[in-house]
Amino acid sequence: MKIKNILILGSLTFLSLVGCTNIDENVYDKYPQNDFYNSPEGADVALASVYGQIGGNWDGKGYAGADNGWYDLNCMSADEQVIPHRNTGDWQLDFARVYMHQWLPTDLMVNNTWNWLYKSIFAANLAVSQLETAKADASKIAEAKVLRAFFYYLLMDDYGNIPFYTDNNTTVDKIPQVSRKEVYDFIVKELTENVELLSGTKGGNYYGRFNKWAAYTLLAKVYLNAEVYTGQAKWAECLAACQKVSEGNFNLHPASNNASSPLGNTYYELFGDVLPDDETILSIYTTVDVVSRNIFTVRSLYGPHCQALFGYSGWNGTIVPKDFYLKYTDNDIRKKQFLIGEQPGGTNYTLDISSLDNPGAGAQEGVRNVKFYPATPRNGGGASNDFPIYRYADVLLMMAECNVRLNNPAAAKPSIDAVRQRAGLGALDNVPTLTDIYNERGLELNWEGHRRQDMIRFGTFLSAKQFMESSEEYRKIYPIPTSALNANPSLKQNPGY
In whole angstroms, what is the distance from residue 64 CA to residue 386 CA? 10
Strand blocks (E) in 299-379? 338-339, 341-343, 347-349, 368-369
pTM of the model: 0.94
In whole angstroms, what is the distance from residue 471 CA to residue 462 CA? 5
Residue 415 DSSP one-character state: H
SS3 of the chain: helix, strand, coil, percent, to 5 = 45, 10, 45
pLDDT digits (tens, 9 = 90+) for 234-268: 999 999 999 999 999 999 999 999 998 899 999 99
User: What is the pLDDT at residue 384?
Assistant: 98
Q: How far is CA 73 from the centre of its chain?
A: 11
Closest C-alpha to 271, from 385, 384, 369, 381: 385
> Does residue 249 contact residue 232 with C-beta atoms inside 8 Å?
no
User: What is the pLDDT at residue 35?
Assistant: 86
In whole angstroms, what is the distance from residue 455 CA to residue 396 CA? 18
> Does residue 328 contact residue 334 with C-beta atoms inside 8 Å?
yes
- Options 3.30.930.10, 2.30.110.10, 1.25.40.390, 1.10.357.10; CATH for 10-288+388-463 is 1.25.40.390
> Does residue 440 contact residue 423 with C-beta atoms inside 8 Å?
no
Mutual angle of helices 138-159 and 180-194, in 10-degree steps: 160
* 280, containing H or E segment: strand 280-284
What sign does the dihedral 435-440-446-450 (CA atoms) show?
A: negative
User: What is the pLDDT at residue 16?
Assistant: 33
User: What is the pLDDT at residue 12?
Assistant: 34
Residue 60, Cβ density class (10 Å: 0-12 exposed, 13-18 middle, ≥19 buried):
buried
In whole angstroms, what is the distance from residue 40 CA to residue 136 CA? 8
User: What is the pLDDT at residue 2?
Assistant: 53
User: What is the pLDDT at residue 155?
Assistant: 98
> Does residue 134 contact residue 39 with C-beta atoms inside 8 Å?
no
Q: Which parts of the chain have pLDDT scores under 70?
A: 1-31
Closest C-alpha to 140, from 51, 215, 38: 38
User: What is the pLDDT at residue 33?
Assistant: 81
